[in-house]
Amino acid sequence: MKAVEARDVVLNFGETPALRGASVAVAPGEIVAIMGPSGSGKSTLLHCLAGILVPDAGEIHFDGHRIDTLSEGQRSALRRDQFGFVFQFGQLVPELTAEENVALPLLLGGVKRAAALREARPWFARLGLDGLEQRRSGELSGGQAQRVALARGLVARPGALFADEPTGALDSLTGEQVMELLVSSARDQGTTVVLVTHDARVAAYADRQVIVRDGRVNALVHS
Ligand code: ADP
Ligand code: ADP
| Nearest bound ligand to the CA of residue 168 | 1
pLDDT for res 222: 53
Residue 219, pLDDT score: 58
Instruction: Decide: 86 and 147 in contact? Cβ < 8 Å.
Output: no
Q: How confident is the model at residue 89 (pLDDT cuts 50, 70, 90)?
A: confident
Region of 9 on the Ramachandran plot (φ > 0 left; ψ -120 to 50 alpha; else beta):
beta
Is the CB of residue 45 less than 8 Å from the CB of residue 6?
yes
Query: Is it the case that residue 220 has pLDDT exceeding 80?
Result: no
Bridge partner residues of 9 (DSSP): 22
Instruction: Give distance in angstroms: CA of 17 to centre of ligand 1.
Output: 9
User: Within 10 Å of residue 154's Cβ, how many Cβ atoms?
Assistant: 25
Q: Is the beta carbon of 199 within 6 A of some atom in ligand 2?
A: no
pTM across the whole model: 0.87
H helices of 155-222, where?
172-189, 200-203
Task: Please write the tens of the pLDDT for every residue from 135-150.
Answer: 999 999 999 999 999 9
76 lines ligand 2 (CB under 6 A): no
Predicted local distance difference test score (pLDDT) of residue 90 = 73
Pocket test for ligand 1, best of 35, 43, 46 (most atoms within 8 A of CB): 43
Are 55 and 48 in contact by the 8 Å Cβ rule? The answer is yes
Contacts of residue 204, Cβ cutoff 8 Å, sequence gap at least 6:
223
State whether ipTM is beyond 0.85: no
Q: How far is the CA of 175 from the centre of ligand 1 (A)?
A: 24
pLDDT tens digits for range 32-57: 999 999 999 999 999 999 999 999 99
CATH number (domain holding residue 62) = 3.40.50.300
Question: Considering only CA atoms, which residue is closest to atom 26 of ligand 1?
Answer: 13
* Number of structural domains in the chain: 1
CB atoms closer than 10 angstroms to residue 44 = 25
| Beta carbon of 109 within 6 Å of any ligand 1 atom | no
State whether residue 138 is helix, strand or coil: helix
Q: Are 66 and 117 in contact, with CB atoms under 8 Å apart?
A: no
Closest listed ligand to the CA of 12: 1
Ligand 1 contacts CB of residue 89 (under 6 A):
no
Q: Are strands 31-35 and 208-213 parallel, antiparallel or unpaired?
A: parallel
If one compares 54 and 219, the residue with the highest pLDDT of the two is: 54
Cα gap 202→194, rounded to integer Å: 12
CA dist 8 and 158 (Å) reads 25
First to last CA, the chain: 21
Share of the chain above pLDDT 90, in %: 92
Cα–Cα distance between 99 and 116 in angstroms, integer?
Answer: 9
Pocket test for ligand 1, best of 10, 11, 12, 13 (most atoms within 8 A of CB): 13
Amino acid letter, residue 50: A
Range of the domain at 167: 4-222
